[in-house]
Structure 1
Amino acid sequence: MRRGLKITLVSVTGAALTLSASACGGKKADSGDDGDGKKTVKVGLAFDIGGRGDQSFNDSAAAGLDKAKKDLNVQTEEISAKPDEPDADKESRLRLMANKGYQMIIGVGFAYTNAVVKVAKDFPNTKFLVVDADQCKVSGPNVLGACFAEAQGSYLVGAAAALKSKTGTIGFIGGVNVPLIQRFQAGYDAGAKKAKPGIKILPAKYLTQPPNFDGFKNPALGTEAAKGQLDAGADVIYHAAGGAGIGVIKTVAGAGKWAIGVDSDQYNLPAVADAKEKILTSMIKRVDLAVFDFVEGVGKGSFQSGTKQYDLKNDGVGYSVSGGKVDDVKAKLDELKAQIVAGEIQVPTKP
């Protein structure tokens, strides 16, 4: 995509999209006129718990929004979620942006699914994206759900963990015990067993149970869980715990063992700069790609409702090689990736 390209919104039928879409109750949304007669394309993004700066899932979404702002010349707004908030708060947040004339609105995280689907019905001229659509299901002609094959990417880092372990014992720490995070665990366990059938995988540790979502944002919880798995003999630990995973990485690295990051390439994160040499790899989840694809697609008039899957086949998930820590096992990991893409390996999605 060339820099400086300003997108012009069109509908999927090719006709010009009216930017002053009617809002709920018959009111008209802000027209988005930038003062010189041109219509400003506006994109609103509502973060999951932790928001921008979580060094993980939300930051990946933020990277996609930043790229859209830079490459597509759109105006953006961000709003963060509150811990343990009801769905009504999410709806209010989305309606606020829709009423302000944001032609594209993004809800980051599976918890936004119901709110997005409900609000989208009242704003038919606004396009909505929910990242990590719950159970990969959405409804509505103006709603897109981005889904990720987390289990596939986790399979590869699980194989890396088993191949690099010297004690023969590895661990997994999940943020909150929900089906989404269980997919990370399922893939990780399966990949480790495939690469080294005799590997010992400690019982998975989940930091919190819903409706308590502190397991995605409290590093102290990650620290304590990591200590427990280290004491049990693990020398490679994979976390899928969002901001709480920073505590996992620092604790594991401090013990001289291998940590595996999640969502973004955590080797490059400032928050764990002092631990980076003990980050074996990260399971990459291209939330940034989903966000950018959505904005670009609406701008080009190629938006399609329903769901879009990001997996190993389209590089929507994968593993990082920063630091060269998995160079010696990369050939094996890529062989496993090819087998998954070809359908020769079916990766489980439940532990």
Structure 2
Amino acid sequence: MKPTFSVASSSRRGFALGGIAFALMLSAGTLAPLAQAADPLAVGILIPGSKSDKGWMESGYDGLVAAQKAHGDKIKVQMIENINYADMEQALTNLASKNKLVIGVGGQTQAAVMKVAKRFPNTRFSIVGGNKAEDMPNVAGYDVKQAEIAFVAGAAAAMLSKNGAVSYVGGMEIPSIVNAGKEFGNGAKYVNPKIKYFENYTGDFDNVAKAKEATLAAIAQGADVHYHILNLGLRGMEQAAKEKGTKVVGSYTDRCGTDALYPAYSITGVGYQVQYAIDEAVKGSWKAGYKPFGLAMGPKASDMVVCGASPEVTKKLEEIKKDILGGKIKVLEG
């Protein structure tokens, strides 16, 4: 069954609930204690950025679509996308008042989720990209462990670099994003101790101009392979890389063969976690609390793909992943 879209995206200049229908009607399962067996499970999902950003938000949206295909008319979903950070609490309040499961896509939703969840004790909340926080009986935090796969991405970038210089651009300077940046640099140095590494933050996941400026600055210093944790800001990195003939290691989803600009992709399972939250609610096995994903949860949750990789590159990356899982290589949280 194909999802029918009836969505009015909010403006980033402000979020007004009154009279505006933010609805994406899909279908999927029943959270046993909270819905009658014959009723669809009401799911609300907040995607703060654009669902077509080629990054985190699009990956989350893909997971939502996958859940719809899996569960059909057993769920009904209301989606709010593309809002200001300051408006998240209001958006989540709107979702919590109408749904039994609410999903916040991105660690930037965590603070608002924790506030709103206290006012809606009978609503379940799942945070995709959540970190360890206050234990609440109705909140689940799913940690993608970006720092883990960022280390592997750094190793891949170092092997792909011809200049011996790589760069990273993050959005908001919050712990999980900063830790991922540090581990990307550590991964690059792990395979090439002499590599040059440039790290920058724009303060905004969606600012195209700042992301381009940061990437151009790194290119001017020799960086020829770039990594990111950005949403729409990725377009700025792409513009800089295309103009200067450098490459980008993509994030979140394997899209090998679709764009020559990208020689590799890290997989962080954002969509996998969205689908996981819905699947668990449908089965009646949803649980509150912190849950780490990352490499330990398998390739759908976390992986590194170098397009057309040589056996030597593949072997090296597999060794690094194994050493992270075994504790030989220790990485930061986040």
- The TM-score, its normalising length taken from structure 1, stands at 0.80
The match for 2:92 among 71, 91, 94 is 94
Note the C-alpha offset of 1:267: 4.6
2:135 counterpart of 1:139 = yes
Q: Distance in 1 between matches of 2:216 and 2:95?
A: 43
Deviations along 1:170-196, whole A, 9 cap, x unmatched? Answer: 211222322121121111111111111
Shift of 1:264: 2.7
Q: Distance in 1 between matches of 2:236 and 2:255?
A: 13
C-alpha distance in structure 2 between counterparts of 1:252 and 1:328, whole Å: 26
TM-superposed CA distance for 1:326, in Å, is 6.3
State whether residues 294 and 303 of structure 1, in contact with CA within 8 Å, keep that contact through their aligned partners in structure 2: yes
Query: Deviation string for 1:139-188 (max 9, x for gaps)?
Result: 32111111121111011111111122221122112223221211211111
1:166 paired to 2:150: no
**Residues 244-288 of structure 1 deviation map (CA, whole Å, 9 limit, x = unaligned):** 1122123214422221122233557xxxx6xx2131212211111
Q: For structure 2, list consecutive stretches of 5 or more residues without a partner in the other structure.
A: 1-26
**Structure 1 CA distance, aligned partners of 2:96 and 2:193?**
52
Task: Give the structure 2 partner of residue 255 of structure 1.
Answer: 244
Q: For the residues of structure 1 that align with 2:287 and 2:111, how far apart are their CA atoms?
A: 19
Q: Which runs of 4+ in 1 moved over 4 A?
A: 325-328
For each residue in 1:99-120, what CA deviation from the matched residue of structure 2 results, as whole angstroms up to 9, or x when unmatched? 22x1111112223223222322
Indicate how the Cα distance of structure 1 residues 65 and 247 shifts in structure 2: closer, same or farther if over 3 A, else same. Answer: same
Is the 8 Å Cα contact of residues 35 and 41 (structure 2) preserved in structure 1? no
Within 5 Å, which residues of 2 pair with 1:98-247? 98-100=96-98, 102-133=99-130, 135-202=131-198, 204-208=199-203, 213=204, 216-247=205-236
User: What secondary structure does 2:319 align onto?
Assistant: helix
CA offsets 1:30-73 (integer angstroms, 9 cap, x no match): xxxxxxx931222110112x231122111111111111111112
Computing the radius of gyration over CA atoms, which structure comes out larger, 1 or 2? Answer: 1
Aligned-partner SS, 1:243: coil
**Secondary structure of the residue that 1:228 maps to in structure 2?**
helix
Look up the SS of the partner of 2:141 in the other structure.
strand
2:318 equivalent among 334, 341, 346? 334
8 Å contact kept, 2:29–2:40: no
Identity across aligned pairs (percent)? Answer: 31
Q: What's the secondary structure of 1:106's corresponding residue?
A: strand
Give unpaired runs (5+ residues) of structure 1.
12-16, 20-36
**Quick check: 1:62 aligned with 2:61?**
yes
Output one character per residue of 1:204-250: Cα deviation in whole Å (capped at 9) or x when no partner: 12123xxxx3xx11222222222211111111111222211122123
Listed one character per residue, the Cα deviations across residues 126-147 of structure 1 (whole Å, up to 9, x for unaligned) are: 21111222x4224321111111
Q: Secondary structure at the residue paired with 2:32?
A: coil
Question: Following the alignment from structure 1 to structure 2, what is the Cα–Cα distance between the partners of residues 173 and 122?
Answer: 36
* 8 A Cα contact 1:280 1:326, kept in partner: no
Closer, same or farther: CA 94–174 of 1 in aligned 2, 3 Å? closer
Letter of the 1:190 counterpart: N
CA RMSD for the aligned pairs?
A: 2.3
Local SS of the residue matching 1:320: strand
SS at match of 1:140: coil
The answer to whether 1:286 aligns with 2:269 is yes
Q: How far apart are the structure 1 equivalents of 2:217 and 2:324?
A: 33
Residues paired across the two proteins, number: 304
C-alpha distance in structure 1 between counterparts of 2:239 and 2:309, whole Å:
17
3-state DSSP of counterpart to 1:42: strand
Question: Matched residues in 2 for 1:235 and 1:107: separation?
Answer: 34
For 1:129 and 1:342, the matched residues in 2 are separated by: 28
Change (3 A) 1:43 1:257: same
Structure 1 pair 242/335, CA: closer, same or farther in 2 (3 Å)? Answer: same
Query: What CA distance in whole angstroms lies between the structure 1 residues aligned with 2:308 and 2:64?
Result: 29
Aligned with 1:304 (options 272, 277, 287)? 287
1:28 paired residue number: none
Distance 1:157 1:120 in 2: 35
